[in-house]
A and B are shown apart, each in its own frame.
Chain A
Amino acid sequence: MKVEGEISVGAPRKEVFSRLSDAHFFASCIDGVSDLTEIDSTHYSALFATKIAYMRFNFKVNVEMSRIAPPSEIEAKVEGTPMGAVGRLTATATTQLGERDGQTDIRYAIDATLTGKLGSIGQPVLKAKAKEMEKQFAARLQAAFASGAESAP
């Protein structure tokens, strides 16, 4: 499953990069992430909880900041297992930052695979969920930086 989009925030690229490479800030933009723990400077563990209607899903995830190339690129790899069901979540998220008139264009792409029982059914609903999360992510990101930003997913 691939999710791609682009948003603009009203802050200089350097500032955006520095905040985005802070895992705590980044995690705070994703709905449902808690208990972020630093293992070392590039590895973290966290809990991720999400709910679709009456169904609740909890994942233990490990995050590796696999590539930090200032001032324009951050790549993170995520591996997780759902609690209470057999499965595996793997994702690679890349973020590219471009500068434009004092604004920063954030281009993001997430390539995620969910295997096991959760992955074998319900792809449309997971996709819808991903889209919803993406919207929230963009909104939080924009709220965190200066106002006047525009969204172009």
Chain B
Amino acid sequence: MNAPPAAKQIGRSLPRLEARAKVTGRAEYTHTMRLPGMLSCKLLRSTVAHGRIKSIDVSEARKLPGVFGVYTGEDVKKVIPDPYYGPAFHDQPILALGKVHYVGEPVAAVLAEDPHVAEQAAQLIAADYEELPAVFDEVEAAENKTIVHEGLKPATTFADLKHLKGAKNTNCALDFKLRRGDADKAFAGAAQVFEHTFKTQKVLHLAFEPHASIADYKDDGVTIYSASQGPSFVRTEIARLLGWPENLVRIKVPYLGAGYGGKLYIKLEALALALSMLARRPVKVALTMDEVFYTITKHPSTFSIKTGVDKDGRIVARQCDVWWNGGAYADIGPRVTQKSGFTASGPYDIDNVSIDSYALYTNLPPAGALRGFGIPQLVWAYESHTDMIARALDRDPLDFRRQNLLRDGRPHATGTILKDVAIEKVLDTIAERMNWDAPFDRGSGTIRRGRGLAIGLKAVISPTTSVAIVNVSADGSVTVYCGTIDMGQGSDTAMAQMVGEVLNMQAESIRIVPRDTDVTPYDMGTLGSRSLFHMGHAVRLAAEEAKAKIAQLARDVGEPEGSNAPLRDLFVKKYGMQAGNIVGTGIYKPDYTPPDPATGQTPNATPFWMTAGAGAEIEVDTETGQLRVTRLVNVADVGTPINPKVVETQLSGAALMQLGFTLFEKMQIDGGQVTNASLADYKIPGIHDVPAAMENEAVEAYQSNGPFGAKGVGELATFGVSPAIANAIEDAVGVRLTELPLTPEAVFRGLRAKAGQPLEDE
């Protein structure tokens, strides 16, 4: 090759390749795209939480000048006879059929060239419902008194859901069990037993770009432009709904204005498809920010956790009961229930573990994946609980954790041996940065200071597959085809760095093509911190294959071993002109052993473990309950950082997102209605909310089966934030909060209760 040998690409803090296009407004997003002849869709949404549809009168809406058409679920059935979708259950109709299951569910759609006309017409549709009793709380839903869905319809994708096919009179969309040792016996023999219950609230992703999809249906194929984190899944599901082979379905994804798990699986794609089939024109469905509140959210949860310790403070048994509030449609909730559920006992070495994790239907907007896939809800509970035990035992919380920590080489509750997880190093680094052993200024007067820490463990979701292609053109330039969606996390940059490392090229010179399922090969989805590992391997393998083929080409054209001939010359020698390609492909799917359905035990639960934690220093104003986070330390094991700058911003970004979920974000719901469904009323952290001191560190670590020793980072810094702050509050003022968010009023009420003067409501 003629290029001077590139500097090492791994470990470069390279600015993101697409940054310039984005900050200059040149990057393309689905939300701002238009196609010739395109119609816009606006929706009528349900005003009851649970009800039978008695009638939908669209006549007034149809009469409005400029309206192209008005459609209901019955119309959808004319073009898609079985219009139900979902990754785990085929439970979600494209438009409501027969029943509505939550306030905000799409009931009818209006198409018009002018979206404002469509919106006006949607207000003229009159839907009449027979209201049914509704259930909103996950623990109440588990009692199965009010049933959300009359029968369960699992998709065929997941083997562990098959037994739920046709199940009736239940809201439970998965009951995952894990049994290790004999928890009952161990509790009976324990010196002390502690039991607490923790709750989390309903929050949502709030990506900058609301959901948007455009479908352009033709009889011989359909193209869907979509703000999606998983175009391969969308293609498969759209092909299934159409009864078509996948090669007639094309999904194109421009840049995403963030995703955080909210743009996975089918969101608006099936609706856009059905409407384009009915209208025979391209149709765009683009949500407003308030509609996002009715689309997908994070799981609220209730977690009852019980721990037995022996006389030396060793944890001998832990029992976990977790209820996940999945809302009206399962989405990926059953996977959250299992794949996160199995780590509910935390990063501790416990011989006797019992876990029951339940996915529940309720009459609320659906819940799915959100940056952490259920892990932040679990860590919140088990690390609050662990701290409470340490305090009750009069032990230093750090010391108590160290004593019980699950170390590399030891079996996790699943039976899988922990490997390549720098869990001790992460905990030690937090302690070191917090100066844990030094005396701590506890404040005085009405300002009391406290500190807390927490650490979490996650197993990456498995098994999943990624495929990549590296294409070397005859001028020596390189193009990468991979389905990982760059939604701001810098994956294109990281992929280019890995390919550049193999091919000895500058990452900046490598082009990553826009995602298009006609062009880019299969990828399971950009989710769960899996891409850097899985797609990283796929692009590495593809680049290595290309490299081997280049060497072969050099031999074919008679270049001596070790020749430095420019690549272009090799092609010219071979093809007589600048022509031809070298194509390398890579497929990566790690080994995996499914858990035993009765015990959750498996020797190989995951290809890699993720660990991260947080330390927080806070000040509590004892007169108002107001809280100030003065220092937030985020430490994670990311293996080898491919791009240290991006790693740092992923850590700080995740921590700040979780800080909002910890301190104030909450979807307020009254009778099933979200009452703060706008950015005017639902606030996320702003620049003034960033802790005065914020430190982010990736500890020195190496993932031995990872690409270049690396593994994922996107979710990590969400793990420890909530419990670290709750632990710091107890440390500061002796008030223990067990429900998120940790509002000033909750702290104040705790202070008053502790003083024997509970605040009485007016």
Contact = CB atoms under 8 A, between A and B. Distances in A.
Contacts of B671: 90, 113, 115
Interface stretch (B44-52, B264-272, B540-548, B713-721): B44-52
Given A87-B47, A88-B48, 13 more contacts: A86-B122, A86-B123, A113-B670, A113-B673, A115-B673, A116-B45, A116-B47, A119-B103, A120-B677, A121-B290, A121-B677, A121-B680, A121-B681
A45 to B, nearest CB: 15
A53 B666 CA distance: 28
Q: Which of A86, A87, A114, A119 has the most CB of B within 10 A?
A: A86
Q: Which of A84, A87, A88, A115 has the most CB of B within 10 A?
A: A115
Interface of B: 44-45, 47-49, 103, 122-123, 125, 131, 290, 293, 668, 670-678, 680-681
A126 B641 CA distance: 51
Interface of A: 1, 84-88, 90, 113-116, 119-121, 123
Q: Which of A113, A116, A120 has the most CB of B within 10 A?
A: A120
Contacts of B123: 84-86
Contacts of B49: 115
Contacts of B131: 90
Contact of B47 (A1, A84, A86, A121): A86
A121 B673 contact: no
A115 B293 CA distance: 14
Q: Which 7 A-B pairs have the closest CB atoms?
A: A113-B671, A88-B47, A120-B677, A115-B47, A115-B673, A119-B673, A123-B675
B289 to A, nearest CB: 11
Nearest to B128: A81
Contacts of B678: 120-121
A88 B672 CA distance: 12
Q: Which of A84, A87, A116, A123 has the most CB of B within 10 A?
A: A116
Contact of A119 (B44, B670, B681): B670
A90 B47 CA distance: 11
A121 B675 CA distance: 6
Contact of B670 (A1, A84, A87, A116): A1
A1 B673 CA distance: 11
A120 B670 contact: no
Nearest to B122: A86
Contacts of A115: 47-49, 103, 671-673
Contacts of A85: 123
A86 B675 contact: no
22 contacts: A1-B670, A84-B123, A86-B47, A86-B125, A87-B47, A88-B47, A88-B48, A90-B671, A113-B671, A114-B673, A115-B47, A115-B48, A115-B49, A115-B671, A116-B47, A120-B673, A120-B675, A120-B677, A120-B678, A121-B290, A121-B678, A123-B670
B131 to A, nearest CB: 8
A91 B672 CA distance: 14
Contacts of A120: 290, 293, 673-678
Nearest to B681: A121
Contacts of B290: 120-121
Nearest to B103: A115
A116 B49 CA distance: 11
A127 B351 CA distance: 53
A1 B670 CA distance: 7
Contact of B668 (A84, A86, A88, A123): A123
Contacts of A84: 123
Contacts of A86: 44-45, 47, 122-123, 125
Contacts of A116: 45, 47, 103, 673
Nearest to A1: B670
A123 B676 contact: yes
Nearest to A116: B47
A1 B672 CA distance: 12
Contacts of B293: 120
Contacts of B45: 86, 116
Nearest to B668: A123
Given A1-B670, A86-B44, A86-B45, A119 B675 contact: yes
Nearest to B762: A153
B210 to A, nearest CB: 15
A110 to B, nearest CB: 13
Contacts of B670: 1, 113, 119, 123
Nearest to A124: B681
A123 B47 CA distance: 16
A11 B48 CA distance: 41
Nearest to B675: A123
